[in-house]
Chain A
């Protein structure tokens, strides 16, 4: 008696709703695998592109989004996540999809204008209101006594852009003397009290936890943080020189051929270059490529001397010399340890 009653009750506990997960079936479905800071951007792009595609072809297209750290997302695609298009933080990650899984051709970057990067950004500083520590340029960030918040370059794509921006500045300052540039970076990273694993985690540490004097961040992220998290509490400081961050996009050949979605996937990425797509990008604080759109938003994006990753030898070299185990970054933070 006791037992059966108990079992009946237990069965009730176990019978958590056995619902099925239904996915709304549209005519065509695309999966866009992207990195963290593009969520808001692609929400708008997807809506607007969907409307345009419907008007043009009569076909309804539903675009699913997946976001995460750029490297982790690339790994998921390599391991079988069927992304029709990838829109990641660095070319290195899409290169990995091409080289490790052969899902797209190695010359993918030549297939779309501007090395397949429809919008750009750069690395800027977010400081507290009134800039109490007077942080104006990279030299101030590396000054003793300043607390710098940046995520871990080993786990975050955004942090690698931060690192390379500082590296490029230092190389320029010390006339390409790598030993001195190293010292500069060692001083900078000595100022870092916390390594968050991702860019948005670092922003939260700076904004919500009140830690640090300056946050190194993508320009679009810094503007978003000011707007969303604390109007009037923070200021953006643009350094004299920074890196041209070019987040690339690509169609994943093997997947679109399997899904039969090549036409719409290619149209989707080309839409990013169209005046409408560029305008949406600019509204989400990405620097547009289209000169007309750029002129309209010139006030938001202060002129800054920019250099590219290619000027530093390209991603492959940057990754192996700086970020791999035992690389320059490991040597620097190993030495900076208290």
Chain B
């Protein structure tokens, strides 16, 4: 259950179970090499380009009016899509992991499906539905409702792309945990809601956190699908990734990478949130003497 507990109290106990020192060093070294090659190097490239002309050009790029509009739009889109997909993810994971039913594998595979759909297509499907030449387009145009090339289109495309993240993060975790604890709680007379809040949620909180963070990262970073439905109107329908592309194509590399670096720093927000939660829980757990 609690990682924090292991981290805080279990270090002595851990030693008996751990690998020889050289294996630990070797594995850590390998992991760090992988990390450096695949993650750190691209990140350094981004920051290197962003700061190529000094800190003042970096700040100037970030305080540009269009850049700020892009930040606001990205926050708006993520602010709508992430909560919706979190609610869906938890409910779907509950349904899939706690019950057995025919067609379960089909359902899971359908939930996975948006991962494998090319971002180009994820945008195109909404154009085929809501575009002027699409199935519902003429009808929407008659009503004066704009979906694509406006905020609703951006939200829909992002919703589609980030749809599976929370659910897929939780399903294997909840399946691994089984149903014994919930069953015990039900037998003791707890209501469904109470079981969820008191038993399931504490058990899945880390998986849920990763799911939310991944979902949010992808929602803010999505480029391909959003690009198809955006219309690229500067200052109006350009999200941060699209603004990056615009600036890059203007040969304004500093500004392009400056905005990209802000998105990259989302990962550091992850760090802050996780640390805060860990600290919080370790205190609680210590207090409870668990």
Contact = CB atoms under 8 A, between A and B. Distances in A.
Q: Do chains A and B touch in the complex (CB under 8 A)?
A: yes
Interface of A: 1-3, 5-7, 9-10, 13-21, 23, 31, 36, 39-40, 64-68, 73, 76, 78-82, 100-101, 198, 200, 224-225, 228-229
A244 B284 CA distance: 74
Nearest to A17: B75
A19 B78 CA distance: 11
Nearest to B197: A3
Nearest to B137: A80
Contact of A21 (B76, B83, B197): B76
Interface string B185-200: 0000000000001100
Contacts of B277: 6, 9
The SS class assigned to the B binding surface is helix
Interface of B: 69, 72-73, 75-76, 78-79, 82-83, 86, 127, 130-134, 137, 141, 146, 148-149, 151, 197-198, 201-202, 205, 208-209, 212-213, 216, 231-236, 246, 248-251, 273, 276-277, 280-281, 284
Contacts of A5: 280-281, 284
A17 B79 contact: yes
Contact of B69 (A21, A76, A79, A82): A21
Contact of B212 (A2, A14, A66): A14
Nearest to B208: A10
A237 B234 CA distance: 34
A66 B233 contact: yes
Given A3-B202, A21-B73, A79 B249 contact: no
A229 B251 contact: yes
A1 B284 contact: yes
B132 A9 contact: no
B76 A64 contact: no
A200 to B, nearest CB: 5
B276 A9 contact: yes
A200 B202 contact: no
Contacts of B251: 200, 224-225, 228-229
Contacts of A20: 72, 76
A34 B130 CA distance: 23
A67 B249 contact: yes
Nearest to A12: B273
Contact of B246 (A7, A64, A67, A81): A67
Contacts of A40: 250
B233 A18 contact: no
B166 to A, nearest CB: 12
Contacts of A31: 233
Contacts of B231: 66, 76, 81
29 contacts: A3-B201, A3-B205, A7-B201, A9-B277, A14-B79, A14-B212, A16-B79, A16-B82, A17-B72, A17-B75, A17-B79, A19-B76, A20-B76, A21-B76, A39-B249, A64-B234, A64-B235, A65-B234, A66-B233, A67-B232, A68-B232, A76-B232, A79-B137, A80-B132, A80-B146, A80-B148, A81-B231, A200-B249, A225-B251
